[in-house]
Structure 1
Amino acid sequence: MGLTGFLGRWALRRVHVLVVEVPGAAGVRMAVERELAARSWVPAVSPAEADVLAVCGSPGPRMSAVVEAVWDQLPGPRTRVDVEAAAGVSAAFEAAAAALLDTGAHRRDAASRSAPWADTDGGGDEHGDEHGDDDDMDMHMDMPMPGGIGLAGGGDDRDGLEMDVLHLPLGPVLPHWPPGLVLTCTLQGDVVVHASAEVLEPVPDRGLPVTGDVRRDVVVARCDAVARLLAVAGWDAVAAQARRVRDDALDGAALAECAAGLDRLTRRVTRSRVLRWSLRGLRTAVRAPGRAGADTHPVDLPDRLRGWLEEALAAARAPEQDAGTGPDAVPPAALPGLVTGLDLAAVRLVVAGTDVVADLTASTAGEAGRA
């Protein structure tokens, strides 16, 4: 084995994987997260640091366009895996590991990629002036920033003063972000003054993977939500603890063992003064109890986090066949009212603390059908 092969195998110990979840593929995404943890691979936070692009589920036309745009942003060496079912995750990542060691394929991939920074006009004028004239300068000032984000314009704030106004889309590919969600924010400074939300290619809400026990499904759903919020809040160690309880429930561990793990998790979360301070003053929403359609009511984010833990613990301790809690996800249309007036860091926390469903009508109909 030469030096290149040795370095490649050494690098496989810490592969960075960017996970893209398609709406309706939560089970596949959770299986991918479990595989990454088993291999000690690292979830990437952006395309720039990713070695592998993992697409969970079967994207439609709009999500496929997003996936292709993200794939173009990955630096080489790179590889992509498309995982449509949880059962195929291990084999997909074995193939990814082998592909990362294929230096010939990486050379061909690099040769086929164009350099977007190349000067197609040859650079400068006939006298060798690299800067061009004033017209060229104006043209460059009108060009968008990286990622296709336009330059900020001007607008009046609430005090009548002119401030920069920037239109910034968040999603659909962000760590710990609802699948397919695009939240378009209008910013003055770092404060959201207007927002709109949609889910690309929404699917009927069928909940998380069915384990055959509704109690277990509640534990899985609530622990997954807790892990998402804690990860965005920056408490990675406890987010990993929540994912372990979630994975134990998926693996068929005794619910009494899950309850013990939830007890330990709840004590750590509720005793953290730093976490309470981080979430202070932020509000999310849940579907209004006993109300059909998209009616919601506000909930403080710390209360929502504590409620998830209490619901999971109650489900783990419930008698057999006890139904536990029903769905309380809200439609994307509820998000603009929750995030307007917040800065971007607070927006990420609020979205992470909100169960967003793409098709509330289908979810409500399914709930009525089980009653």
Structure 2
Amino acid sequence: MPTVLQQHAQQLQQFLAPHYQGEVEMFASPSDAYRMRSEFRVWHQDGKPHYAVYDTTDGKRQIQLIETWPIVHESIAQVMPRLMAAVTGNDVLTHKWFQVEFLATLSGEMLITLVYHRALDAAWEEAARALEQELNVNIIGRSRKQKIVLSRDYVTEELNVNGQKYRYRQIEGGFTQPNAWVCEKMLAWAVNAAGQNERDLLELYCGNGNFTLPLSRCFRKVLATEISKTSVAAAQWSIEENACNNIAIARLSAEELTEAMSGEREFRRLQEAGIDLKQYDISTVFVDPPRAGIDDDTLKLLQGFERIIYISCNPNTLADNLQILTQTHQVVSAAVFDQFPHTHHVEAGVLLERI
């Protein structure tokens, strides 16, 4: 019987069948302890808080109390019982506490967010600071319209791509890849797909610069876009930290960049960032869009470039987008990444070259 990863590869081959008949590379994940970020309900029972998840095995949504969870990174698994033991019996920290979120890193740093159904006060902050020191982590408190950052609201991650280390700032609440080992494989695949170039790269939806940094080593210059202010700030930190001095970030959506490059609109944000689109000689575009895929106007923009590297978290929208992209390009390689082992979720990558 094929493994889940092999089933995912077969599924991707079916989606790509009208455009590509070659092999699909497979990149596996550790079977357990792979998830770097996770959140749990906090369930109060017998006068004590417990971690909880929803169990829908029988088709009914029921609470299941747990002590740890096999898919979380070992650092999260180790701190979970310590956190619960430290707060049990402390009414200041447990009163109306209903959720906890963990963000771990391969670098060893961790951020824990405690979420409440009440306003947090000075007493909570004092108790949380003591907890932060006891556990040697960064703690954030959240409630409706309230966020208390005790030390900092980010962690610094280190990823290894083809023997090169990159340091990233990961912001609490911002998007990060949940499986660091598979993320490193995705980055290496994208770098290998890009090859070495004397021209420039355009990247849409760059987030905190996850792909941007290693890809910048492959091109003369990189123009990256991202609409989120916090993600742009994190990416700018990472660019400076890693001395990737050939990257410029435009705080524009993909749709806005399409309008700018077509001459339909001018954006002050480009001028403020010192970006002159005429100074770029773009040959390749990298996209890692949200689950909804890419809008039609942006797809038309992509068709103007020689190569497209496309990472997809939704094979259905990838297949839809390929209906347009393969009018001008052909798929020359494909890969599937086991981002979420033992689940139906499929993460894919395709490289297209202009016909």
TM-score bucket (shorter structure): under 0.3
Greater relative CO, 1 or 2 (CA 8 Å, sep 6+): 2
Q: Which has the higher helix share?
A: 1
TM-score (norm 1): 0.23
Q: Which has the higher strand share?
A: 2
TM-score (norm 2): 0.24
